[in-house]
Amino acid sequence: MSRDDRPGALRRTLDAIYTTSAALAALCLVSMLGVIVAQMIARWSSLTFPGSTEYAGYLMAAASFLAFAGALNSGAHIRVGLALTALGRHRYWGELWCLLVGTAAATYLAWYSVRLVYWSRKLHDLSQGQDATLLWIVQLPVALGAILLAIAFADNLVTLLRTGRDNIRTDVSVQSHAE
């Protein structure tokens, strides 16, 4: 592989990771629907489904965090586009500032999410609900999503510094008005 092929290969790899993470988020949403339907059936049947509310909550958190990186690169996150457009020729500096702050915040979140998983595992921390689940297991997808978000922000920051544009896809009509 030549030196010029590496950024393209890295881009494809990162995009594949973000897409896989978004697919896992979708799977978590479908699983959450399954848990809710099972809970409804259990109630109608006068059965119990201990911990179903907690499981739905765990799946919701996992789905949210696993979707963040893909949502960022697809332009689905709420951005300060109006303010950046108002900067005119200084838009690059606004983008740079936003990506620096976003990268720092996401890295901070990722660091402490990983530490939370570590300490929950070390202390054998259990949920306080009826499910009595080991918390590190349900915190793991959240930490993974936070790590991927930090990588996505750093990826966009590096790309902005190298090329003058980030990787965030924007709507064509919005793009044409901004230029």
The reply to whether 177 falls in a domain is no
The reply to whether 122 falls in a domain is yes
Tokens of 26: 């979708």
Q: How confident is the model at residue 173 (pLDDT cuts 50, 70, 90)?
A: very low
Please, which contacts does 14-19 make with residues 24 or more away whose CB atoms are closer than 8 Å?
Answer: 14/151, 14/152, 14/155, 15/73, 17/69, 17/148, 17/151, 18/69, 18/70, 18/73, 18/148, 18/152, 19/70
The reply to whether 44 falls in a domain is yes
The reply to whether 12 falls in a domain is yes
The reply to whether 79 falls in a domain is no
pLDDT digits (tens, 9 = 90+) for 112-149: 999 999 999 999 999 888 888 899 999 999 999 999 99
pLDDT at residue 67 in the model? 95
The reply to whether 109 falls in a domain is yes
Give me the domain span that covers residue 131: 5-72+86-170
Counted domains in the chain = 1
Per-residue buried b or exposed e for 155-165, using 16+ beta carbons within 10 Å of the residue's own CB: bbbbbbeeeee
Q: SS3 for 175?
A: helix
pLDDT digits (tens, 9 = 90+) for 61-110: 999 999 999 998 887 766 667 777 888 888 899 889 999 999 999 999 99
pLDDT at residue 6 in the model? 55
The reply to whether 178 falls in a domain is no
